[in-house]
Structure 1
Amino acid sequence: MKYFDYAATCPLDKDAAGIYLKMATDFYGNSSSLHDVGGQSAQLLENCRDTFARLLGVERKGLFFTSGGSESNFLAIEALLTAPKKGGKHIITSIAEHSSIHGTLMRLEQNGYEVTKLPFTSSGMVSIEALKEAIREETVLITIQHTNSEIGTIQPIEAISKLCQEYDIHFHCDFVQGLGKSDSMKLTTQVSSFSFSSHKFYGPKGVGGVYIRPNINWTPFFPGTSHESGLRAGTVNLPGIVAMTVAAEKTIGQMTESRIRFLKLREAFIQSLEPIKEILTIHGELGDKQFPGIVGFSIEGIEGQWLMLECNRLGFAISTGSACSAGMQNPSKTMQALGLTGKKGKEFARVSFGRSTQVEEVEKLGHTIVNITRAFKK
């Protein structure tokens, strides 16, 4: 089986796997314990915090380790709302945000908050003009993703940040698809908080992190919590955190080289689909506004789930969008954000590349999709 679903999850890096095993067997102490065994674990934990702070260009005091992106999104939003810059209960987001964002906001709506969900432009971007028009005096939070997981568009974080500063609004950014794929240093100084998840950059599953600016005087969601400065409950996953740190160092170090590779793979894949170009739509943007390792596309008249199953039968693992929405009957949130509903919305499929993806494999996948399409259209 050839794997083309790296946007959903990545295999564990071998170096990260090795360090995970060593940490789990040799440094098993609880980092909150006061004895020497716990002290060793605590030192390792803080070393990882120092390393991540350096990699991301942030203050270590605002960096917290979690169980992954979903928990990070929840904790960040809840923390920011305990320390708003002004009064109000209005939040702005996009239709295409991750389910963890929408789930958190649905709960907040039940508690009296009003949420405005913005659509995408035809190229998969949040319109700055539409965002500005949606801002009210009582808007206290804007939460917009960095990189869309389904079509790979990179949102205008700097422009959104300027609006937030102008109107005294907190800005949370879901950076789960972005870390290690674009320059994080440009992002981290422009937001109130951001989230990331280990398994998106070849670290272990079940671990991630969130950054909340240290000058924000937030209140814990869970009273009496002692772990991670009171942000979350539960013993920290030290082996996972150390392995995630190793994976992050490697991924960020290879970022420029990886982008060049992904551009070549993307070009090869789209070129291989040339025979069906008349009924093919590639969703997304161009240049720096697009992460090249994700290709979201639609073939007229062919449901994405059926195409995925046919590819799977022939030895290729592709997807129909976010794994967190798998099995749902409605079109993906990104297709809805693009205004594509009903049958048109369900035509969507996604291919995403990773470290081991080869041009020959990409071309073979493209030719397979062309053959599937031709057979279907007969």
Structure 2
Amino acid sequence: MVYLDYAASTPVSEEALHVFQQLSSDCYGNASSLHDAGGRANDILTYSRQSIAGILEGEPEGIYFTSGGTESNLLAIQSMANGLPAEKQHVITTSVEHPSVHHAVKSLERLGAKVSIIEPNQDGIITEDILKDALLPETGLVSIQHANSETGIIQPLAELAPILKERHILFHTDAVQTFGKIRVSIKELGVDAISISSHKVYAPKGAGVVYMSAHVPWKPLYSGAVQENGFRPGTVNVPCIGAFAAASEQLMLKLDEQKRQNMQLRDYFLQQLKIRKLPIRTLHNGNRHMLPHIIGCFFEGFEGQYVMLACNRHGICISTGSACASGYHHPSPAVKALHVSDRDALQFIRLSFGSKSSKEDIDQLLHTFEQLQKEKKGA
């Protein structure tokens, strides 16, 4: 099988699998228990907080473990909004966020908050002017993704953060797609809260993190919760969290090397499209800052879903966009935001590279694309 859908999920690395198995068999106590087995489990959580906080350039006390990226977004946004004063009940997010962010702000809206959904420019970017135009005196919270999982477009958070900071507006970002792929630093981005997920970084599914800066006056979504300092109820998944920390540490050691490999694969793919004269248009242009491991394409004459299924028949895994919304056959908001027609948006496909991707994988994919093109021409 050729797997080119790393943006949806990653295989578990040997290091993470080893840690997960070892902790599952040797460290099975409940971290909230007061006996020695509970103490050992809590020690793993303490180490994992320190490890992931260090990667984010934050403090261990700011780490709150969750079940994944979706829950991280929901809890971060709603907990931050719960702590806002009555005169700051306006929340801003974008049209291209992960569905979990939209679910979170819709819940806030039902509870009486005012919500604004802002659109990026035609290059998919939220500019300073776009953000400023949406701000109101009562704005208390803004959530803008670090990068889009479908298009790979990176938002200029470090440029937007000072605008919010000077107005004392809290800033959250969904960094699920960027953590472990590019540098993600609380200090450099200037945000107050970050969401990340384990299964995007070669760890098992089932763990996530919200990092919340100490100055954020959050209030829990679930009253009476005692785990994670009241942030989230339920027994903490110690084996998965330990594996998450181990996988993250390994990724950081290889970050620059993997970025170079992804860029080489991307450049090879773009070069081969021209050589083979395939009718495929990509999103790469000089105006967009893109993640190196994601390529968004429009395959002229074919719906993306058809291309994905055809590739699957040839043993190749690609995507038509976000796996979390793959059950819906309609133009993606993230793609539509680039000012393309519904017809073009439905022709969108996404390739995403990872640790085991190779030029041979790209060649096999391109051969499949060529076969599709020949079949269409009746050759």
**TM value normalised by structure 2:** 0.95
Sort the Cα spacing of 1:276 and 1:288 in 2 relative to 1 into closer, same or farther, 3 A: same
Compared CA separation, residues 284 and 114, structure 1 to 2 (3 A)? farther
Corresponding position of 2:231? 231
- Aligned mates of 1:217, 1:156 — CA distance in 2: 25
- For the 8 Å contact 1:273–1:369, the answer to whether it is kept is no
The yes-or-no answer on 1:346 pairing with 2:359 is no
Partner SS for 1:273: helix
Question: In the alignment, what sits opposite 2:93?
Answer: 93
The aligned runs of 1:1-378 (5 Å cut-off) are: 1-84=1-84, 87-185=87-185, 190-274=190-274, 279-286=279-286, 289-378=289-378
SS in 1 for 2:11: coil
Q: Tell me, yes or no, if the aligned pair for 1:259 and 1:292 is still in contact at 8 Å.
A: yes
CA distance in 1, matches of 2:29, 2:91: 41
Letter in 1 for 2:71: E
Q: Tell me which stretches of 4 or more aligned residues in structure 1 moved more than 6 Å.
A: none
Structure 2: gaps spanning 5 or more residues: none
* Contact kept? 1:5, 1:352, Cα under 8 Å: yes
- Deviation of 1:89 after TM superposition, in Å, equals 2.4
In structure 2, the CA distance between the partners of 1:112 and 1:215, relative to structure 1 (3 Å rule), is: same
| Amino acid paired to 2:262 | F
Q: CA deviation at 1:275?
A: 5.4
Could you give the per-residue CA deviations for residues 321-360 of structure 1, whole angstroms, max 9, x where no partner exists?
0000102022112112223342221110000001000112
Partner Cα distance (1:305, 1:131) in 2: 34
SS of the aligned residue for 2:298 comes to strand
Mapped to 1, the partners of 2:60 and 2:287 lie a distance apart of 32
- Residues 304, 187 of structure 1: alpha-carbon distance in 2 compared, 3 angstrom cutoff: farther
Deviations 1:118-150 (A, max 9, x none): 223232222221111111111111111111101
Amino acid aligned to 2:6: Y
Q: Which amino acid aligns with 2:108?
A: L
What is the aligned length?
A: 378
Unaligned runs of 5+ in 1: none
> Shift of the alpha carbon at 1:168?
1.7
Cα shift readout 1:309-328 (whole Å, capped 9, x = no counterpart): 11111221111000001020
Distance 2:287 2:347 in 1: 25
Matched-pair contact (CA < 8 Å) for 2:57–2:187: no
CA deviation string 1:160-200 (max 9, x = no partner): 11111122211100000010111122656611101000000
Deviation by residue 1:219-253 (Cα, 9 ceiling, x = unmatched): 11111110000000000000000001000001111
Amino acid at match of 2:219: T
Secondary structure of 2:88's partner?
coil
Tell me, in whole angstroms, the C-alpha distance in 2 between the residues paired with 1:314 and 1:189.
41
CA distance in 1, matches of 2:287, 2:335: 21
The one-letter code of the counterpart of 1:110 is R
Q: Counterparts of 2:289 and 2:149 in 1: how far apart (Å)?
A: 13
Residue type of the partner of 1:271?
Q
Say which is worse superposed, 143-152 or 187-196, in terms of deviation: 187-196
Q: Distance in 2 between matches of 1:287 and 1:268?
A: 20
